[in-house]
Copies of this chain bind each other. A is one copy, B any other.
Amino acid sequence: MVRAEIKQIARDIRTMRIRGAGRIARAAARALKIAAKTSRAKTSTEFMRGLGHVSELLLATRPTAISLPNTIRYVMLDAKRAREVDVQTLRRSVISRADEFIRGSKGAVEQIGEIGARRISDGDVVLTHCNSDCALAIIKAAFKQGKHIQTFVTESRPMRQGLISVRELRKVGIPTTLIVDSAVRHFIRDIDKIIVGADSIAANGAVVNKIGTSQIALIAHEARVLFFVAAESYKFHPGTLVGRLVEIEERPPKEIINPRRFPGLKIRNPVFDVTPPEYIDLIITERGIIPPSAAYTVIQQLFEWKLGEEKI
């Protein structure tokens, strides 16, 4: 039986109370840690079965973000590989890797800020879309270094997470302008660089991110404005090496309008879209800066995957 606390985490992810691929990943690690801590399993098999239930519960919350399965894979790796060990050893392993993940994940955002800030010049005007910790970390790091930068933030309908970004940027004093999603092309000549986050990065360098990202990337490409993706390396999607597709989550219509007021109307609410690699200049990770054309080999290295393996 799954504990209420864990169920609550799963629910919060599903209802987007916990949002953002990084925060979701850390919440999932925390959930597994709680499950490991509180497991009353007598045998290793039982313990692993319990953790398996929790993993499935978590995986079912949001289908697109690869950070969820990657986190679970990371936290459970040693436990899964272990042979003939007792429950206590498994418990310790899960707890310690969960802690390690959470620590690493927070550190990653900081490192991304530091590495990415090298690419922000004094006087730059930077646009960001939606609300990405990694993207904001870069902007803030550059600003802290004394670079005079300004930002444009899109509203990011339907959930308007742009308003959260706007508050975060204003809190540290960065001059910020809010625009509607439709106004990006109108202002593109005023923009020097664009930084967004990522929910999944495929082996061909394509990036799955908040709906609207791909059209901003297209606009940037048209005007030859630099387009950066900022993401922890657990956003890379290993399954794409063997052809798996990233499922695009569609969320309830009511996030857009009250459907009852429009009988007969169809409302489509995909929350992510796919930006092709040719519109992305760089992917900024805590492990360094990766051109989209290197995504394939980077995934090979990150997941120690060999050509032809199906297990991923």
Contact = CB atoms under 8 A, between A and B. Distances in A.
Interface residues of A, number: 85
A243 B181 contact: no
A183 interface: yes
A177 interface: yes
A185 B264 CA distance: 24
Given A187-B268, A273-B183, A307 B288 contact: yes
A55 to B, nearest CB: 23
A297 B288 CA distance: 13
State the number of copies, please: 6
B291 A204 contact: yes
Contacts of A273: 182-183, 185-186
Nearest to A159: B180
* Interface SS of A by simple majority: mixed
Contacts of A204: 281-282, 291, 293
A123 to B, nearest CB: 11
A219 B223 contact: no
Contacts of A290: 296
Contact of A170 (B179, B219, B262, B269): B262
Interface of A: 115-116, 118-119, 155-158, 163, 166-167, 170, 175-187, 189, 192, 203-205, 210-212, 214-215, 218-219, 222-224, 233, 240-245, 248, 256-257, 262-270, 273-274, 277-278, 281-282, 284, 286-298, 301-302, 306-309
